[in-house]
Structure 1
Amino acid sequence: MRSEPAPRPDGNGRRARRSPLRRLAVVLLVLLALWLPPWWTLFGSGTHWPFPVSAVGTVLFAGWLVSFPFLMVAGHGPRRSDRAARVADTGLGVIWVLFTWSVLGGLVNLVAAGLDLGGTGRARAVAGVVAGLSAGLLAWGHHEAMRVPRVRRLDVHLPRLGAGLDGTRVVVLADTHYGPIDRAAWSARVTEAVNALDPDVVVHAGDIADGTPAQRREQSAPLGKVRARLAKVYVTGNHEYSSEAQGWLDRMAELGWEALHNRHVLVERGGDSLVLAGVDDVTAESSGLTGHRANLLGALAGADRQHPVLLVAHQPKFVPQAAAAGIDLQISGHTHGGQIWPFNFLVRLDQPVVHGLSRHGERTRLYTSRGTGFWGPPFRVFAPSEITLLTLRAGDRKSV
């Protein structure tokens, strides 16, 4: 009898062959978990709709459940079909909103049943409220995702900032995520909004696109018209590392931006200096691209540490390293502010901050942008997009 080789850690044994099946099982369980509460709230749980209504609803839900994995692979896999991605991403957003409010509706239904309230029409009433509320939130959320972001204005006090740099206007873009939905016109309007703020420095904190520079050339082109007195700087986000990170660094340089690929530039005004440094995303090293990793020492090499430092790092979770190095201000994105409530609570499990200005250690401030665009589902629910105007102020104050 021939013996089978023992599973090996290098992935050549049976353990590795079972791994894709485990991953598939996890994906299917997650999809079922997302699918079941909406279906149960809308068409089960004692609603007793006429048979045609229940049948059509069940078919629609089943169609999503079966087709979604294939659409995601077609849209975000090697083929990168924008049409498939649009359908898959929109369906994911719809099911997430339905899931959230179905769970809340189900809890209300259980409490009402326990108190013997609502009678036989209770389940239908809950289903109607969940469907109506979800539809309203999705319509509003789509409008919020597709509009030009509102400007959020904030003063940031940096004790080491020289008086000559007091009032420096830093405009922050992040997570534009040019993608399957053509937003070239939106991108042009964002550029107009940025230029209207009369910035000294413009920062793009990464996740510029989902797709290659060639695919998203028209959408990224308006960034070439962004104006800044002192500098326009850009760092990679995690999404660049699935769509030609080096190509995006080259594309941004072509558009007139300083690609802060673990490097810094010095800007001066009124006789005072500010170091603008940037690091690759924390996922860069695992991408396998030579020379790509979050290298703060490299970014600061040769910088006069008597000058204040503004660091651009895509993910807020880089802030412990920034604080340990005495960085004055870190600017990040990545979180989207959660994008679709209540996903912000899940984001908080991975990141120290979801949005806004925070203090870390004695010196370091962190500003986390909610992002300018959106990823995947074209919805923003209770997490508005933003273009941020940070006005740097010399001196300290008690708050962040």
Structure 2
Amino acid sequence: MTLIVSLLLPLLALWLWWPVQFSGRRQRRWHLGTSVALAVAGVGLAALWRMDVLAYAAEAWIQLVFGWVLAMFVMLLVWLALRELGWLLSRLAPRSSALATVWHGARANQAAAALIVLLATLGIVNGLKPPRVHERALVVPGLPQELDGLRMAVIADLHASPVKRTWRTRRVVDAVMATHPDLIVLPGDMVDGEVEDTAAFVAPLAELAAPHGVWVAPGNHEYYHGYRRWMAHFRGMGLGVLENQTARLDIGGRTLAVSGVGDLAALRPSAYMRGGLAPDLPAVIAAAKGSDAHILLAHQPKQARAAAATGAFDLQVSGHTHGGHMLGFDRWVVAPANHGYVRGDYRVGAMSLFVSSGAGQWDGFSVRLGVPSSIDVLVLKAGQLPGR
């Protein structure tokens, strides 16, 4: 899919400058040549990465540069759609031929191209910098009063890699521990790369600690990079790995069940899969039977409808969407692909759903504009959701 999308980049590059009115052929050739060369470079980077012939440390940086190019062309597509709509409307309106010329003028398109490059670069910088902590109260229907005020830290989509190195993970761990959480959950996509490529960059996660444990559920990116080895490695670090499993926690005389299920990616066979298991809701429901409250860690928020339909869960915690990456892109592209869930809290039947914007994102599309990465601290509150 990435390679197919990248093949469209040269067409967008041609479309940007082809109708533009330049003062001379040399200027036209320079603009066309520069944009097409950038697009072809993006195609080449995608092909080189998909050939899988380089060490992952090199591939990760190739992904990052490709993501920068791809982000520019995503924004370029928006500009082209607006430009052609404006040009068409100005052509239809009386006495507006001058405005039509502006839409296809060199200055307007040069300014747009410069702004796109600036925004894409800013987006990469925003994506790579460490996340900040965002604390919020979250009402969980049916939560016993004894669990009211429980502080749960959420670290989703860390995507540790040779690009986002140990120092960044260290910053995340220090920030989480400074919040003094009662419980820490990691709902998937902790890593990119095989264990030998990335283990050093997740080492600080071994220092996470909370009175009621640190619990991990798998995400689709663990499935791409040696799933079984990563789960064993996380266990060796002292993290509580939940593979369609449930931890029953005694808190204030009440039993809180925390379950982790496999990722939906296992239901879509792919050549890039390196192990993984499908979600098994019945297994964790049976394991949590008799508990006073039940939290589900499911990487993709698309699990929420099926989970809510069982009536067995009080709260689902997910990631996967990275909050939608960019304003506009979040609502028009990412949300529809995830049943409308992109970031924040939702009500799904009688169940609460929280979707984290993520503490990181995949190197292949690290852009963030208006949607910062986040470490979330949820203060769970007993009560009813609005409207109930």
TM value normalised by structure 1 = 0.85
1:312 maps to a residue whose letter is L
- How do 1:139-154 and structure 2 match up within 5 A? 139-154=121-136
- How do 1:29-68 and structure 2 match up within 5 A? 30-31=5-6, 33-41=8-16, 43-48=17-22, 50-68=24-42
> Once the 2 structures are TM-superposed, how far is the Cα of residue 314 of structure 1 from its aligned partner?
0.5
Residue 379 (1) aligns with residue 367 (2):
yes
| Among 340, 345, 349, the residue aligned to 1:357 | 345
> Once the 2 structures are TM-superposed, how far is the Cα of residue 364 of structure 1 from its aligned partner?
0.7
- How do 1:68-79 and structure 2 match up within 5 A? 68-79=42-53
Residue 316 (1) aligns with residue 310 (2):
no
The structure whose RCO (Cα within 8 Å, separation 6+) is larger is 2
What residue in structure 2 maps to residue 17 of structure 1?
Answer: none
SS in 1 for 2:249: strand
- How do 1:1-400 and structure 2 match up within 5 A? 30-31=5-6, 33-41=8-16, 43-48=17-22, 50-79=24-53, 80=56, 81-82=58-59, 83-114=61-92, 115-118=96-99, 120=101, 122=103, 123-286=105-268, 292-326=277-311, 327-344=313-330, 345-352=332-339, 353-361=341-349, 363-375=350-362, 376-398=364-386
Cα-Cα RMSD = 2.5
Distance 1:180 1:128, change over 3 A: same
- Residues of 1 paired with 2:8 and 2:275: CA distance? 40
Distance 1:351 1:121, change over 3 A: closer
- Residues of 1 paired with 2:381 and 2:284: CA distance? 24
> Once the 2 structures are TM-superposed, how far is the Cα of residue 399 of structure 1 from its aligned partner?
5.4
Aligned length: 373
SS in 1 for 2:188: coil
Structure 2 residue runs of 5 or longer lacking an equivalent are: none
Q: Deviations over 1:118-168 (max 9, x none)?
A: 475551232033123213322331232122223222212223222221111
2:314 maps to a residue whose letter is D
SS in 2 for 1:210: coil
What residue in structure 2 maps to residue 12 of structure 1?
Answer: none
Q: Is the 8 A contact 1:263 1:300 kept in 2?
A: no
**Percent of paired sites with the same residue:** 29
- Residues of 1 paired with 2:274 and 2:100: CA distance? 63
Q: Is the 8 A contact 1:329 1:364 kept in 2?
A: yes
> Once the 2 structures are TM-superposed, how far is the Cα of residue 281 of structure 1 from its aligned partner?
0.2
2:318 maps to a residue whose letter is S
- Residues of 2 paired with 1:69 and 1:89: CA distance? 11
> Once the 2 structures are TM-superposed, how far is the Cα of residue 68 of structure 1 from its aligned partner?
3.2
Q: Is the 8 A contact 1:165 1:273 kept in 2?
A: no
Q: Is the 8 A contact 2:266 2:276 kept in 1?
A: no
Structure 1 residue runs of 5 or longer lacking an equivalent are: 1-22
- Residues of 2 paired with 1:184 and 1:290: CA distance? 25
Distance 1:179 1:289, change over 3 A: closer
